[in-house]
Structure formats: structure tokens, C-alpha cells
């Protein structure tokens, strides 16, 4: 059984500005209605699930009691949004999402602040990226501010699911799929937009203080210039699963994606390398947003935090006099190996919503042996880096500062957005 109510949002919850009706870019000439949060209906489940032990959580396996749902039709625009009990979707077998992969998603997290209020971390950036991804695969547009209002309401309703243990959170997965029931090879004029939530602990539990191991190999490519690597699309992920199996079979936890020798991403995370200059200053390098790299929210936040160090000593455990320079430029495997040989490669770490910041302690490069002829069996050569979580490491300092901001212990640049109460 469920309880249903129509819950208009407070005026203070409305977006400061809305895009209004938008003309679709997939061939439609109409101006369909946008998402209307004042039409939200909430159907609450009367029988709630038992909360899991945070120590047993596996990323993405347990879902909360409720979900947000709405759909789009060209003749009317977006339907009235619903928060309703979590459950299966009913989709036609010919839907575009099954045939041609118009599927967009986001990854966000909710945390409990010191006062017990649910908080989001820079969610506007996620909404803006989702809107760009939807446009890339010609899915119907939506107002990002309005969707965020509805996500905040859903998180407030599901606040009991947010684990209180440090480093734990409630993962938020907004998803937009094409649902036109036709095999025609063209943009989907119909869509479904839904948001599901999952309590989560550490993204990777088996590090044992040793950090992450990565395998780079050039015979499989995640993204290419002019492709879709810079957008968060479902189609970007499945092609990487075979390479991930190769990495696991060779004893590595994730793939380090490269194009030729040029470093791109690690698994589904952005990559940073830390080099020491002769004068002791640090250069922190990450690949540029050239269209093959996903513009990660954590990536942008790391670059912003590093820009404050010094003089404000934004990062704990680091000296206020530590000079750090950031660069968004090409990073190659040869450069990493050369710097490792000379001792100037201080750290490599990965960042992303799920992992936050995670140090790398081993990088393997699967390549043909020097002077090898075509058809030679590739060899794997390794870079070994310092132990994970080493006191004073940049990765450790960044992780601590970001988690403090996310969980509301430190207020920073308006990055934290509260979700209020379920009936706000």
C-alpha cells in the first residue's frame, strides 16, 4: 500500500531562473513544456526497507525506498514529476535506448551535515553536465535548476538512508533514456527521466592501505577526438569492460586509458600526476579537457583547491609555504616512466564522485618489447609509487579537505547545497 499526496513546492524552492519552453534540436518544431515542480506528486511506501549495515555496503547494489520519475512526449513536453516507491520500469522492446543507446546519467552524492541535514556537493555542475550530455545524443532538453529542486526533495525524503560513517554517502543516479518505440535510426522524440538512490561505502574496499593499481594498454581505446568521451553517456562504458577483465587477469584493479602514449582516464576517474621540481616546488598535471576527457566535478574541485595553496593553506597537513603549480596538459606514459626513474614523480592519484581521491601505487604499461617485430607478445613494465595514504601526501590532503567540505565540517565557496526536510 502507498499514501499519495500532491505537494506543491515552496516559492523559495523555485529556481532563480528557468529556461522556459525550449525548441528541441532533434527535428521537432514545437515548444514543449518544461518540468514543473509545482505539479510534483509524492506517493510514499507504507512498508519501508531495513537499512543495511554500512560495513556491508557494495557500491550500487542496495536501492532506497523511493525514486523520482517523469517522461517526455513531443506533443505535451514533460509529464508531472512523481516521487514514488522504487520499482521496475515498463518499456517497449523497441525503445531507442535498447537499440541505439541514447542513455545519459549522472553520479552525485548526498551527505549528512553536522546538524543532520542532507547536503549535496556542487550539484549544479552535475545538472549542467547532464544537460550537455542529453544534447550530445539529441535527447529532449530539460531545465537543470528545476531538476535539482526535485532531486533535493527526493534526498530529503530518503535522508534516513544516508550512512553516518565517515567516507560513506548516499549515491544519486539521475538517468535520462530515449523511449521512442521504433526501430527507425533517428533521434528519440520520447524519453524517461528518473532518479534512483543507493547508500554506499568506500568505492574500493580491498586496497589494504596499498593504493590503486592501473594497467595501461594501447590496443583498446576508451575515447577519441571528436567522439563522446567528454560526455557522461552509457555507451562510453560497456566497450571498456573487456579491457577491465584483461587488467584484472594481470593483477591490476583498473584500466589506465591511453591514446597512443597519451594518458586519458583511469577506469571512470580523472588522473593527476605530481612532479617535484629541483627547487622543491610541485607541478600537478592533469590531462586537458580535449573532448576525450570527462569534465569531472571532483576534478574541477581539486584544481580549485590547489589554486589556493598557498597563501591560504587550503589543504590540511601541508605547509603554508608549499608551492603548488597546476597544469592541464598532455601527460604521456614515457614522461611518467622517465620521472619515476629520476625520482621526480612524487604521486599519481585518481579523482571522481564515487572514489573522491584515491592514490595510485602501481602503474603497468602493456607494450611491445623495445625493437620487437610485429606480432611479438607484449610485455608489462611497472612504475611503483609510494604507499597509499602516506602522511603529508597531496592525495591524502585533498581527500581530507574534500570530505570535510562534502560533509559540512568546512564551508567552502558555497559548494554545499542543503536539501531541507521532507515536507519543506
The whole-number pLDDT of residue 167 equals: 79
pLDDT band for position 390 (cuts 50, 70, 90): low
Instruction: Report the alpha-carbon distance of residue 158 to residue 152 in Å, rounded.
Output: 10
Residue 200 φ/ψ, nearest 5 degrees: -145, 145
Q: 160 by DSSP, 3-state: which? A: helix
Instruction: Report the alpha-carbon distance of residue 360 to residue 349 in Å, rounded.
Output: 5
Instruction: Report the alpha-carbon distance of residue 17 to residue 127 in Å, rounded.
Output: 14
Domains and their CATH numbers in the chain: 2-201 (3.30.470.10), 212-406 (3.20.10.10)
In the DSSP assignment, the letter for residue 204 is -
Residue 246 φ/ψ, nearest 5 degrees: -60, -45
pLDDT band for position 389 (cuts 50, 70, 90): low
The whole-number pLDDT of residue 209 equals: 53
Q: Is residue 422 pLDDT above 50, yes or no?
A: yes
pLDDT band for position 313 (cuts 50, 70, 90): low
User: What confidence tens digit (pLDDT) does each residue in 146-190 have?
Assistant: 999 999 999 999 999 999 888 789 999 999 999 999 999 999 999
| Whether this model's pTM surpasses 0.85 | yes
Q: How wide is the angle at C-alpha 131 spanned by C-alphas 108 and 410, nearest 5°?
A: 35
pLDDT band for position 314 (cuts 50, 70, 90): low
Question: Of 218-222, 242-246, 283-287, 380-384, which gets the smallest average pLDDT?
Answer: 218-222
pLDDT band for position 7 (cuts 50, 70, 90): very low
Instruction: Report the alpha-carbon distance of residue 33 to residue 23 in Å, rounded.
Output: 10
User: What confidence tens digit (pLDDT) does each residue in 192-206 have?
Assistant: 999 999 999 877 665
The whole-number pLDDT of residue 14 equals: 41
Instruction: Report the alpha-carbon distance of residue 362 to residue 191 in Å, rounded.
Output: 43
Q: Is residue 10 pLDDT above 70, yes or no?
A: no
The whole-number pLDDT of residue 58 equals: 86
Amino acid at each position: 500500500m502507498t499514501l499519495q499526496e500532491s505537494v506543491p513546492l515552496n516559492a523559495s524552492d523555485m529556481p532563480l531562473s528557468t529556461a522556459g519552453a525550449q525548441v528541441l534540436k532533434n527535428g521537432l518544431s514545437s515548444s514543449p513544456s518544461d518540468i514543473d515542480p509545482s505539479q510534483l506528486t509524492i506517493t510514499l511506501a507504507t512498508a519501508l526497507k531495513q537499512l543495511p549495515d554500512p560495513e556491508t555496503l557494495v557500491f550500487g547494489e542496495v536501492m532506497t525506498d523511493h525514486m523520482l520519475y517523469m517522461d517526455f512526449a513531443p506533443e505535451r513536453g514533460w509529464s508531472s514529476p512523481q516521487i514514488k516507491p522504487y520499482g521496475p520500469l515498463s518499456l517497449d522492446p523497441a525503445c531507442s535506448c535498447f537499440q541505439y543507446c541514447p542513455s545519459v546519467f549522472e553520479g552525485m552524492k548526498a551527505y549528512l551535515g553536522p546538524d543532520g541535514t542532507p547536503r549535496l556537493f556542487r550539484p549544479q555542475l552535475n545538472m549542467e553536465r547532464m544537460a550537455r550530455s542529453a544534447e550530445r545524443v539529441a535527447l529532449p532538453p530539460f531545465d537543470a535548476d528545476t531538476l535539482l529542486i526535485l532531486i533535493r526533495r527526493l534526498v530529503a525524503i530518503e535522508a534516513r538512508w544516508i550512512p553516518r560513517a565517515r567516507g560513506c554517502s548516499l549515491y544519486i543516479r539521475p538517468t535520462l533514456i530515449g523511449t521512442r518505440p521504433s526501430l527507425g535510426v533517428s533521434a528519440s522524440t520520447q524519453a524517461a527521466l528518473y532518479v534512483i538512490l543507493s547508500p554506499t561505502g568506500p568505492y574500493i574496499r580491498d586496497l589494504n592501505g596499498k593504493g590503486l593499481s592501473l594497467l595501461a594498454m594501447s590496443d583498446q581505446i576508451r575515447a577519441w577526438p571528436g567522439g563522446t568521451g567528454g560526455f557522461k553517456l552509457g555507451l562510453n562504458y560497456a566497450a571498456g569492460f573487456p579491457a577491465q577483465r584483461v587488467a584484472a587477469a594481470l593483477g591490476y584493479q583498473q584500466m589506465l586509458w591511453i591514446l597512443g602514449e597519451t594518458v586519458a582516464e583511469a577506469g571512470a576517474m580523472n588522473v593527476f600526476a605530481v612532479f617535484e621540481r629541483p627547487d622543491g616546488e610541485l607541478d600537478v598535471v592533469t590531462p586537458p579537457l580535449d573532448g576525450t576527457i570527462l569534465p569531472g566535478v571532483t576534478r574541477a574541485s581539486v584544481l580549485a583547491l590547489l589554486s589556493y595553496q598557498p597563501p591560504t593553506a587550503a589543504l590540511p597537513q601541508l605547509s603554508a609555504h608549499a608551492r603548488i603549480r597546476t597544469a592541464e596538459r598532455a601527460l604521456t606514459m614515457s614522461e611518467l616512466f622517465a620521472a619515476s626513474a629520476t625520482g621526480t614523480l612524487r604521486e599519481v592519484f585518481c579523482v571522481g564522485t564515487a572514489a573522491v581521491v584515491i592514490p595510485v601505487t602501481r602503474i603497468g604499461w602493456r607494450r611491445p618489447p623495445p625493437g620487437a617485430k610485429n606480432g611479438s607478445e607484449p610485455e608489462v613494465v611497472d612504475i611503483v609509487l609510494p604507499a597509499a595514504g602516506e602522511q603529508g601526501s597531496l592525495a591524502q590532503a585533498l581527500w581530507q579537505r574534500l570530505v570535510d567540505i562534502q560533509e559540512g565540517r568546512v564551508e567552502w565557496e558555497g559548494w554545499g547545497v542543503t536539501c531541507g526536510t521532507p515536507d519543506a
